Structure 1
Amino acid sequence: MNPSATTSANSPVNPSAATSTSLSARELLAAGLVAQPDAVAEVREEVRDPRSGPGSRALRVTTLGGVSVEVLPDRGLDLGSLWFNSIPVSWRSALGPRGGAVDPADEGWIGRFGGGLLVTSGVDHIGPPEQGHGLHGTHHLTPASDVAVRRLDDGSVEVSGAVDSSVVFGRHVLVERKITVGVDRPRVEVRDTIRNTGPVPAAVPILYHSNLGAPLVLPGTRVEVPGSTRTPRTPEAERLGWQAFPEPTDEVIEGVWEHTGFAPGAVQAVVTAPEDAVRLTMSWDGAELPRCMQWVHPTRGGWVLGVEPASAPLFGPDRSGEHLGAPVLEPGQERASGVVYELS
């Protein structure tokens, strides 16, 4: 940026000296070139597809940085559609958005799985139905409470709320979630604090089921995950591979890989469309989420890539014992985790 175009809260830029494309949202506001925060980061409450029924409310955040993302208060503050510079990034299933209550003790939710960028699995269970839990737990079926929207100092938008994971006579766990959508950078951060507010220990597995589709995911789309160990769940996973997305097929087939052995600190997984048309970088803390599942489903009409950082195993010998390898919180304890999505 030209130094003559810089500003501070006490020294706004001369509007005649710069254009909007050279200024940050904060500078645009300070210079009086826009009259309100919504001009650079718009937040709108929407009712989604009328076929959805209950659970269809969404907060749409659209920013100067080129991001438009749905935050879903009635779906555990998960994320629905994500667009970047008019390019859709998240996967949407053939079902479209669906709503209404389902029985968490069976696989009923899969029949309403409309996709979206983030479908949080946990924090009572991840993986297939087991030990009285339904497929992938109840977080994504639970409405958030105390949902609030606020503007940060740089103009970014923060949506926060709490998602309960409790039973009447047993575990009491609360997930406090903050979603920050960058106004100048195409960046969406999900940050969770998981608290055991009850009187008994509680297992708290979490898996950030991130779903990506075309045109980010095309034949040959490259996937980079920096783990040292790759474990296929089935022979189909080995057949499909993980480093490049395969050609479409009419065969109903999927493969799941587990990536582990991350170096300490920040972990980055990168998904890049052919010819570098668009790139998504996902990052998380390897100490908080030491595993990453990768779901490859190249069937026509399905066609989805899942990149899923997790705190617990989805399969294999570590998925054992009373808590299936998940971290356990004692009463009063908490743990943090989250994931960042950045586009270029």
Structure 2
Amino acid sequence: MGERYEETECMRYAGSMAQLADARLMALEEGNGRGDRVIAFRNGSGLAFTVSPDRGMDLVDCSFGGIPLVFRSQTGYSAGARHEASGKGWLRNWQGGLMTTAGLRNVGAANGEFGLHGRISNLAAEDVGIRRGWEGGRYRLEASGTLRECAMFGEHLELCRTISTGLGENVIRLHDRVTNRSCREDYLQILYHCNLGYPFASPELVFDVEAHEVIPRDAEAAAGLAGWDRLDEPRADYREQCFYHRLPAGPDGMAGIAVENPALGIRLRIEYSAGTLPNFVQWKNCLSGGYALGLEPTNASVLGRAADIGNGTARKIQPGESVEFDLIFRFEHRLPVRP
């Protein structure tokens, strides 16, 4: 859609490009997130989202055509300083949102010094920047920042992240480069916890994905395997289900899955670099008051660091080595299907 906007035409009609599309750095002024930086994007054709530099450069709020798409947890915006690092304390500070980063040294279950889903989403970025301008005939919006998971006498993993979109382009692109700045090898674990919520995620949601093998995580998921691609009505006694997928990659090396709500006329496709993110986890949580669908590209499982090292899933990263990851969200309007 972005090709319909010409620089010369925009300059003729608009007093400022900010009236068409913008990315603006702001600070929260209340609640548990008070003082945290937030970058608010709007692309000029109905896509709006926020990036949280003080919470892992994660993607939080997201709407399309004015309709909320994502799950937000009860905590709301919450500062990383409130993180409870051990056990399942991560859940007391999880904001939800379009994408939460899990890692960089543990994904999934807590074990030993590693709490649930690791530390990275509670760390603050440095070298944070916003870039707006014309590039290759398109008006681009971009935010970038660097996060470091490190300790004296311990690990030093550096994550450089860039998030971008464009005027009239209903796409969010995320590019990560993780470098081991330590003098010792380590294990790199990362998972992109993408969280869809009501009204987009509902029993009307339809999955669109190529045929592939689906493996339940446990007995609870095995009992629901036949309905992995359907969301149930919310229940107070619902127990979460997780499924492992291995989605086929295309010629460009990207794998993907799409979901559509016909009643809302909105379709979302998530694509990811299958070479560095070979696994895909689906989290299905049809719980009253916590209704969410997680679509999660990863290089790990959700069994935790120790289990992944033990079974050979964990990916080693050598001193000075860099690994790159790509994640793309594509949003599309379709004619709503009315009953």
The answer to whether the superposition gives a TM-score over 0.5 is yes
Counterpart Cα distance in 1 of 2:209 and 2:103:
23
- Which residue of the partner structure matches residue 17 of structure 2? 37
Q: Give, in angstroms, the shift of residue 97 of structure 1.
A: 2.1
1:322/1:239 CA distance change after superposition, 3 Å: closer
| Counterpart check, 1:237 vs 2:218 | no
Q: 1:195 aligns with which of 169, 179, 189?
A: 179
1:273/1:261 CA distance change after superposition, 3 Å: closer
Greater CA drift, 290-299 or 232-241: 232-241
The secondary structure found in structure 1 opposite 2:62 is strand
- Which residue of the partner structure matches residue 5 of structure 2? 24
Counterpart Cα distance in 2 of 1:139 and 1:25:
39
- Which residue of the partner structure matches residue 103 of structure 1? 84
Query: One-letter code of the match for 1:267?
Result: A
Greater CA drift, 238-247 or 207-216: 238-247
**TM-score of the two chains, using structure 1 as the length reference:** 0.87
The secondary structure found in structure 2 opposite 1:186 is strand
Q: 1:120 aligns with which of 81, 85, 101?
A: 101
Structure 2: which 5+ residue stretches go unaligned? Answer: 333-339
How many residues matched? 323
| Counterpart check, 1:271 vs 2:259 | yes
Q: Give, in angstroms, the shift of residue 248 of structure 1.
A: 1.8
Q: 2:127 aligns with which of 132, 137, 146?
A: 146
- Which residue of the partner structure matches residue 57 of structure 2? 77
Counterpart Cα distance in 1 of 2:75 and 2:186:
34
Q: Give, in angstroms, the shift of residue 300 of structure 1.
A: 1.2
The secondary structure found in structure 1 opposite 2:41 is strand
| Counterpart check, 1:307 vs 2:295 | yes
Structure of greater relative contact order (alpha carbons < 8 Å, 6+ residues apart): 2
Greater CA drift, 97-106 or 153-162: 97-106
Paired residues of 1:226 and 1:267 also in contact (CA < 8 A): no
- Deviation string 1:140-172 (CA, Å, 9 cap, x unpaired) is 000000000002422121100101011111221
Paired residues of 1:40 and 1:183 also in contact (CA < 8 A): yes
Counterpart Cα distance in 2 of 1:25 and 1:84:
23
Structure 1: which 5+ residue stretches go unaligned? Answer: 2-20
Q: Give, in angstroms, the shift of residue 45 of structure 1.
A: 2.6
Paired residues of 2:200 and 2:264 also in contact (CA < 8 A): no
Q: CA RMSD in A?
A: 2.3
**TM-score of the two chains, using structure 2 as the length reference:** 0.88
Paired residues of 1:90 and 1:211 also in contact (CA < 8 A): yes
Query: One-letter code of the match for 2:110?
Result: P
Identical columns (%)? 28
Query: One-letter code of the match for 2:132?
Result: R
Q: 1:331 aligns with which of 303, 319, 330?
A: 319
Counterpart Cα distance in 1 of 2:155 and 2:199:
42
Greater CA drift, 217-226 or 251-260: 217-226
Query: One-letter code of the match for 2:324?
Result: A
Counterpart Cα distance in 1 of 2:72 and 2:291:
10
- Which residue of the partner structure matches residue 207 of structure 1? 191
Counterpart Cα distance in 2 of 1:209 and 1:59:
19
Paired residues of 1:49 and 1:97 also in contact (CA < 8 A): no
Larger proportion of strand: 2
1:162/1:188 CA distance change after superposition, 3 Å: same
The secondary structure found in structure 2 opposite 1:342 is strand
Q: Give, in angstroms, the shift of residue 25 of structure 1.
A: 5.7
| Counterpart check, 1:262 vs 2:224 | no
Counterpart Cα distance in 1 of 2:113 and 2:16:
50
